[in-house]
Amino acid sequence: MTKITIAIDGYSSCGKSTLAKALAQKLNYSYIDTGAMYRAITLFCLRNKLIDKKHHVDEEKVVKSLKKIKVDFKFNSHTKISETFLNDENIESLIRTMEVSDNVSKVSSIKEVREKMVILQREMGKNKAIVMDGRDIGTNVFPDAELKLFMTADVDIRAQRRKDEMTSHGQYFTVEEVKQNLMKRDYEDTHRKENPLTKAKDCIVLDNTDLSKEEQLEFVVKLIADMQLTREGVTG
């Protein structure tokens, strides 16, 4: 089967990474969580006091610090996931906290931050056979991706799912607190100047409010199989 690029964009906590991971495993593709890259930079900023308590980001200092920041992934054959590294430190378990979530949209809106991350993302996907999720993958990182999904779901359902996930990691917040964070991020991500979250013209919208993880995977796998058939029909 021809190797393709799969771009998954959408609102916060819609299960993009759950679907992306499952798809990558099924197709034997690489999976890149681009949100983790912006979260890694946010962690660097928090540690280095480039963000104050009121969530004000010192953009100039962030931009100056970029040359000191290295973000990459290493595949953990035990957990079967690519873990995020910041300057060679495994920070996978440190980037899903509410503190990082509360500040990541601001950091990811900085032009120079995005430019640096997009270069890395394009490099990671240059040989196709990749599933990448984020906010600007189908619109900006890989505008020629063969499959572009835009994921959405009811915000209350998303907040509940995210709260359950956080609880399972020992982070306790109310559904309302989680919902406020999701709504704030969605607003900032869709309204920023640099590559905001928008639907690519040629995307397929996937609303998973009433779908299980298995059902959404089945839906996309069928979509890919149909696409491949059409392509073979056209080229064969």
Q: Does residue 134 touch ligand DC according to CB under 6 A?
A: yes
Nearest to 75 by CA among 8, 133, 21: 21
Cβ closer to ligand DC: 209 or 230?
209
Tokens of 101: 């979530």
Single residue of 185, 200, 206, 216 touching ligand DC by CB under 6 A: 185
Min. distance of Cβ 73 from ligand DC in angstroms?
A: 14
138 binds ligand DC (CB under 6 A): no
Cα atoms in the Cβ-side hemisphere of radius 13 Å centred on 134: 29
Residue 39 found at the interface with ligand DC (CB under 6 A): yes
The piece of 53-61, 62-70, 129-137, 220-228 that touches ligand DC (CB under 6 A) is 129-137
Output the CA torsion sign for 73, 56, 98, 217: negative
82 binds ligand DC (CB under 6 A): no
SS3 readout for 163-189: HHHHHHCCCCCCHHHHHHHHHHHHHHH
State the Cα–Cα distance between residues 18 and 133, nearest whole angstrom: 10
179 contributes a contact to ligand DC by CB under 6 A: no
Question: Are residues 107 and 38 in contact, defined by beta-carbon separation less than 8 angstroms?
Answer: yes
Q: Does 35 bind ligand DC (CB under 6 A)?
A: yes
108 binds ligand DC (CB under 6 A): yes
Helices 175-191, 98-108: crossing angle, 10 deg rounding: 10
Q: According to the binding rule CB under 6 A, does residue 12 interact with ligand DC?
A: yes
- Is residue 216 involved in binding ligand DC (CB under 6 A)? no
Give me the least distance between CB of 91 and ligand DC, in Å please: 13
Judged by the rule CB under 6 A, the positions of this chain that interact with ligand DC are: 12, 34-35, 38-39, 104-105, 108, 134-137, 185, 189
